[in-house]
Amino acid sequence: MPVSDLSSVAQDYLKIIWSATEWSDEPVTVKQLSERMGVRAATVSDGIRRLSEQGLVAHERYGGVELTDAGRRHAVAMVRRHRLIETFLVEELGYGWDEVHDEAEVLEHAVSDGLIDRLDRRLGYPDRDPHGDPIPTADGTPRRPDAVPLLSAPVGAAVAVVRISDADPAVLRQLAELKVGLDTVLTVEAARDGDEVPVRVGDATVLLGAAAAAALWVAATPA
């Protein structure tokens, strides 16, 4: 069954389940899904039950929610759609990186697989979206980079920003004002002090607030 045959609600559930575990090895719970989606836990439980009946997720009561092989294929297809659309909106239509998430949420349910393949070709087969989230390949292969949260980076080590969470557009705008974006090289100057993390960007020291620091994922720079 192609992903387009699923309801938009089912597509959203699968994408969110996959995305919630993309940067973590722990299965996502109904409570966590409820918080991410902004709906009641009972509503999520009902949605998970329907996906389980379709053979797309596995869920034991009070346990984590995990995708089956079929569910994972559909989820990765939706993630690929979403991130390619975001990339197209930024690179071809001039959208800001803080504007594209909601647009992509709508468009990803309406486009065909053929259009997605054409977008991929037009964009030169990108491997990440405007926020650094990896774009799965056409055959569904994930491309997760070797990265850690900035808050886990060692003090004094030079690191490059490889991913920025797009959960809060205000944080994206703040980081843009601070000139912190993908591939920015920075150094954590000291451990977190209260709600701020001091980092050196170029010749300047920048104080990142808690939300901004938590949004950044980094990787070691080449030796």
Domain limits of the chain?
A: 1-144, 148-220
Confirm or reject CATH 1.10.10.10 for domain 1-144, answering yes or no. Answer: yes
Query: Residue 175 has what pLDDT?
Result: 94
Low-confidence residues of the chain: pLDDT under 50: none
The fold for domain 148-220 equals SH3 type barrels. (2.30.30)
DSSP the chain: --GGGS-HHHHHHHHHHHHHHHT-SSPBPHHHHHHHHTS-HHHHHHHHHHHHHTTSEEE-TTS-EEE-HHHHHHHHHHHHHHHHHHHHHHHTT---TTTHHHHHHHHTTT--HHHHHHHHHHTT--SB-TTSPBPPPTT------S-EEGGGSPTT-EEEEEEE--S-HHHHHHHHHTT--TT-EEEE-SS-BTTEEEEEETTEEEEEEHHHHHHEEEEEPP-
Query: Residue 80 has what pLDDT?
Result: 95
Query: Residue 170 has what pLDDT?
Result: 94
